A and B are shown apart, each in its own frame.
Chain A
Amino acid sequence: MSLVQKLGPHLPYLRRYARALTGTQKSGDSYVKAALQALASGTHELDELPPRLALYKLFQAIWGATGAKLETPPETADTVTRRVMRIPPRHRHAFLLTALEGFTIDEAAQILDDSAENVRQLIALAQRDIEAELATEVLIIEDEPVIAADIEALVLDLGHRVSTVATTRTEAVAAVKQRLPGLVLADIQLADGSSGIDAVNDILKGHDVPVIFITAFPERLLTGEKPEPAFLITKPFQPETVKAAIGQALFFHVERPVAA
């Protein structure tokens, strides 16, 4: 089987990886090109691995030899890409190979020429980098003290700070006036009969902030005037589900100017 047939189908995915890794398609492509050139000129050979792994491994070797040293986050990169770029290179490889490219830990270890144990550690470190980068002040809108305490604990677990726990719409709006949070976690049905949806809509009028609704009544959000885009988690919740949603909401939040 020719290399064209063996490797060709994997090139679109390698280009994606290269783009995420380097921040721009142009720069990513230059490394993909360098890897293929090395193959064409015979300075590098493919390892005896399944074609996709061998291809990524070759790319990784080429990038490690040159790209790792030249790295500067490109000016033109969007907010999300910059967040990816702020993860240190070795951690970023492990994170992108598994989460973006869907390789198993063992496969990623082969590509990175490292042990599975080390790759696991790199993945955990990448997560710490991500969470440290995203750490922010969180406004919790929740009227049930026990649930509020649960949410507070998991928010702190992630390295965030809790600015306020508001129990009504009025309190929530007042809290935002005092101190602008970087994330809002909101229940929908509040103690005084007010609505978390209304509270969030009030807040979003003045500020662009990511919101996650945590509610036992998800249908209210589906029928009501739902702020877009918002995450929805149904009570009772698994702390890990909320943590994953928080990470996602913050990682992909791109601030847009809001008319004051």
Chain B
Amino acid sequence: MGKDHSGGDSGAKPLDARAARRRQDPIGRRLRQMYDDVVNEEVPDDFMSFLEKADERKSDGNGTDHEQPALKQRSVKTEP
């Protein structure tokens, strides 16, 4: 399977996902190194505040109509 759905438009042989992944893994590893700085830097503050807002909305049950405030537990702010 996966052998016949690649047109013969280039000289490259068709290949399956296993072979493709074996060639892509080392590329992925190098990309991870390239983007290392993104992972190590601080996430922008407003990103976290959106999550906090989403948490508040959930615990207040006042956000949208489709969320029953069944587990109504007042959120205790964990931040200092």
Contact = CB atoms under 8 A, between A and B. Distances in A.
Are both chains from one complex?
yes
Interface of A: 2-4, 7-8, 11-13, 15-16, 19-20, 25, 29, 32-33, 36-37, 39-42, 45, 80, 84, 95-96, 98-100, 102, 105, 119-121, 123-128, 130-132, 135, 156-161, 240, 243-245, 247-248, 251-252
Contact of B47 (A36, A125, A131, A161): A36
Interface in B3-32: 5-6, 10-17, 19-28, 30-32
B31 A99 contact: yes
A36 B49 CA distance: 9
A1 to B, nearest CB: 10
B35 A4 contact: no
A84 B39 CA distance: 19
A42 to B, nearest CB: 4
Nearest to A241: B22
Contacts of A252: 27, 30
Q: Is the interface of B mostly helix, strand, loop or mixed?
A: helix
Given A33-B44, A40-B53, A128-B12, 19 more contacts: A8-B43, A11-B43, A11-B48, A12-B41, A33-B47, A36-B54, A40-B51, A42-B57, A45-B67, A99-B31, A100-B28, A105-B17, A126-B24, A128-B6, A128-B10, A161-B11, A243-B23, A244-B23, A252-B30
With a 10 A CB-CB cut-off, give which of A95, A127, A244 has the most chain B CB atoms.
A127
A247 B27 contact: yes
B62 to A, nearest CB: 10
6 pairs of A and B residues whose beta carbons are closest in the complex: A99-B28, A159-B12, A127-B20, A120-B17, A36-B50, A40-B53
Contact of B31 (A84, A128, A247): A84
A98 B6 CA distance: 21
Interface string B30-65: 111011001111011011101111110110000110
A98 B39 contact: no
Given A98-B21, A100-B31, A159-B12, A3 B44 contact: no
15 contacts: A12-B41, A39-B51, A42-B54, A42-B63, A99-B28, A100-B28, A100-B32, A120-B17, A121-B2, A123-B17, A127-B15, A128-B12, A158-B12, A247-B27, A251-B30
